[in-house]
Amino acid sequence: MTARTLFEKLWDAHEVVAETADTPAVLYIDLHLTHEVTSPQAFSNLRARKLPVRRTDRTFATLDHSTPTDTDQLFGKIPIRMQSAAKQIHEFEKNCAEFGVELLGLTHKQRGIVHIIGPELGLTQPGKTIVCGDSHTSTHGAFGALAFGIGTTEVGDVLATQCLLQRKPKTLAVNVEGALPFGVTAKDLVLAIIRELGVGGGTGYVIEYRGSTIRALSMDERMTVCNMSIEAGARAGLVAPDETTYAYLNGKPHAPQGAAFDRAVAHWKTLPSDADARFDRQIDIDASTLEPMITYGTNPGMSIGISAKVPTQANDEVHAKALAYMGLTAGQALQGQPVEFVFLGSCTNARLSDLRAAAAIVKGHKVAPGVRFLVVPGSQQIKHLAEAEGLDRVFIDAGAEWRESGCSMCLGMNGDLVSRGSYCVSTSNRNFEGRQGVGARTLLASPITAAASALAGRVSDPRSRLTA
């Protein structure tokens, strides 16, 4: 048998009908995650056609995007401030009830950002196909699952048929070697990869992250890397499952248990790319030369090492337009740039390990005057675990806001906003114009860079606050 990549094994195992010149493949979807924003029109479509949800047992729902992170609004002490969001949330509750889809509702202990709870609950597993009406579905690829974002029409297709029409994408190997230097995190690594590929460089490909650096990453870190695959244009990112993956999943509520778990692991071990499998394209990254990264522009490819200067690119209109929006000049240092907001959250960097790393820097210090520092755990479970080890106190004592989980300030649709013209060091994944609020100026960075910047009130190198 010919050697196959991990992607090809996943694809082959899910072809219900193979593709032909005239028709795409019919691909079976093992897990469909849904949320309030990209599903209403899909449910309306089902209703209009009098169709049920084909596999309610493979469909899960959570509330995250337009959901408030303010405790009183979330728990109903006061009404949800944004009326359109409230309506959307209630319509989603109604849709899930009517169609029999399990919803982790507003006050549910397991509710959280869709790409955080899938792994946390053990729903995300190697070998699965996973989709969600959200581009960061690529996160789940960290487990060796083929996971990608879809539009609302496709959400409807999957609800109705558990399948999607797909053309087979190409494969791109991103080989990463070398140890991550002191103070350099998975977030910095993925920002460097996106800079290398360019924001459209991965279009049409599924990325497999490979190499010793990737193997050494924890599951949380692998999720951070896979999460941002879409920022290079790739719909999906993959990391082959290994002992780190199995150890993470062992005992998770929706993972196979006991003997079934052992059988699953035996299967998962067959998934990694064969030694002589061929990729359509390859790039190599040397992790050992990286430093903490930060973005200066209006797409995630526009990043620099934290000690570097904003680049000069003569006759580049896109670059000039981005700098004008950001209020920055070519040749200036970003370090020392005053900031008004710091956001620690999102499906990229709001897992327990991210909160711990940031808290280690914040502990015993104060957030700089004039800085609003929002800390938003990725899920209610993470919030609970963080509180059990006192992380909430560390942040609150420093003067940060400790919130209920949700997408929050990652995107401007739930009331958590960066004000016009203000700078925000953010651990999220997109620095697009207006993403965090109209006129907001986003600087993407790691949780430790965010924490160090919150204390300084300026863009700050986290290495100065870390003890070796």
Partner 1 sequence: MDPIRTIHSRTVVMPSSNIDTDQIMPARFLTTTTRDGLGKHLFADWRYDGNGQPNPDFILNRSEAVGCQILVAGRNIGCGSSREHAPWGLYDYGFRAVVSTEIADIFRNNCLKNGLIPVVVDESTHAKLIATPGSLVSIDLEGCVLTLPDQSTVPFVIERFARYCLLNGVDETGYLLSKSAEISAYEARTQL
Contacts to partner 1 by CB under 8 A: 13, 16-17, 21-24, 26, 28, 30, 37-38, 40-41, 44-45, 49, 51, 54, 58, 65-66, 82, 84-85, 87-88, 91, 133-135, 149-154, 156-157, 160-165, 167, 199-200, 203-204, 230-231, 233, 235, 299, 317-318, 321, 411-413, 420, 430, 432-435, 438-439
Three-class SS state of 361: helix
Question: Rounded to the nearest 5 degrees, what angle is found at the Cα of 201, between the Cα atoms of 347 and 407?
Answer: 15
Please choose, from the candidates 268, 251, 298, the residue with its C-alpha nearest in 3D space to the C-alpha of residue 122.
Answer: 251
Asked whether the beta carbons of 449 and 306 are under 8 A apart, the reply is yes
- Spatial CB neighbours of 397, under 8 Å, sequence gap ≥ 6: none
Residues 235, 232: Cα–Cα separation, whole Å: 9
Shorter beta-carbon distance to partner 1: residue 372 or 430: 430
Structure-token pair, residue 317: 């209109």
- In the complex, least distance from residue 112 CB atom to partner 1, rounded to whole angstroms: 19
Asked whether the beta carbons of 207 and 242 are under 8 A apart, the reply is no
- Spatial CB neighbours of 318, under 8 Å, sequence gap ≥ 6: none
Residue 273 sits in the site that holds ligand SF4 (CB under 6 A): no
Burial of 62-90, coded b for 16+ CB within 10 Å and e otherwise, reads bbbbbbbbbeebbeeeeebebeebbebbe
The count of other CB atoms within 10 Å of the CB of residue 54 is 16
Among 124, 229, 346, 427, binds ligand SF4 (CB under 6 A): 346
Ranges within 86-115 binding ligand SF4 (CB under 6 A): 113-115
Shorter beta-carbon distance to ligand SF4: residue 410 or 444: 410
CA 399, 452, 381, 141 dihedral sign is positive
Residue 420 site contact among ligand SF4, partner 1, none (CB < 5 to 8 Å, cut-off depends on kind): partner 1
Residues 447, 381: Cα–Cα separation, whole Å: 19
For 136-196, strand residue ranges (E) read 146-149, 163-166, 170-177
Shorter beta-carbon distance to ligand SF4: residue 139 or 337: 139
Shorter beta-carbon distance to partner 1: residue 394 or 418: 418
- In the complex, least distance from residue 185 CB atom to partner 1, rounded to whole angstroms: 23
Residues 392, 130: Cα–Cα separation, whole Å: 33
Residue 410 sits in the site that holds ligand SF4 (CB under 6 A): yes
- In the complex, least distance from residue 63 CB atom to ligand SF4, rounded to whole angstroms: 11
- In the complex, least distance from residue 54 CB atom to partner 1, rounded to whole angstroms: 8
Structure-token pair, residue 90: 């209630």
Residue 85 site contact among ligand SF4, partner 1, none (CB < 5 to 8 Å, cut-off depends on kind): partner 1
Shorter beta-carbon distance to partner 1: residue 44 or 335: 44
Question: Looking at the chain, how many residues does it have?
Answer: 468
- In the complex, least distance from residue 102 CB atom to partner 1, rounded to whole angstroms: 17
Residue 291 site contact among ligand SF4, partner 1, none (CB < 5 to 8 Å, cut-off depends on kind): none
The count of other CB atoms within 10 Å of the CB of residue 282 is 13
Among 111, 128, 136, 351, binds ligand SF4 (CB under 6 A): 136
- In the complex, least distance from residue 260 CB atom to partner 1, rounded to whole angstroms: 13
Ranges within 29-68 binding ligand SF4 (CB under 6 A): 64-65
Residue 194 site contact among ligand SF4, partner 1, none (CB < 5 to 8 Å, cut-off depends on kind): none
- Spatial CB neighbours of 273, under 8 Å, sequence gap ≥ 6: 3, 4, 5, 6, 7, 9, 208, 210, 240
Among 429, 431, 436, 460, binds ligand SF4 (CB under 6 A): 429
Residue 428 sits in the site that holds ligand SF4 (CB under 6 A): yes
Number of shown-chain residues binding ligand SF4 (CB under 6 A) = 14
- In the complex, least distance from residue 350 CB atom to ligand SF4, rounded to whole angstroms: 8
Asked whether the beta carbons of 239 and 141 are under 8 A apart, the reply is yes
Residue 40 site contact among partner 1, ligand SF4, none (CB < 5 to 8 Å, cut-off depends on kind): partner 1
Residues 409, 428: Cα–Cα separation, whole Å: 8
Among 36, 120, 134, 220, binds ligand SF4 (CB under 6 A): 134
Shorter beta-carbon distance to partner 1: residue 105 or 412: 412
Residue 172 site contact among ligand SF4, partner 1, none (CB < 5 to 8 Å, cut-off depends on kind): none
Residue 346 site contact among ligand SF4, partner 1, none (CB < 5 to 8 Å, cut-off depends on kind): ligand SF4
- Spatial CB neighbours of 259, under 8 Å, sequence gap ≥ 6: none
Residue ranges binding ligand SF4 (CB under 6 A): 64-65, 113-115, 134, 136, 346-347, 407, 410-411, 428-429
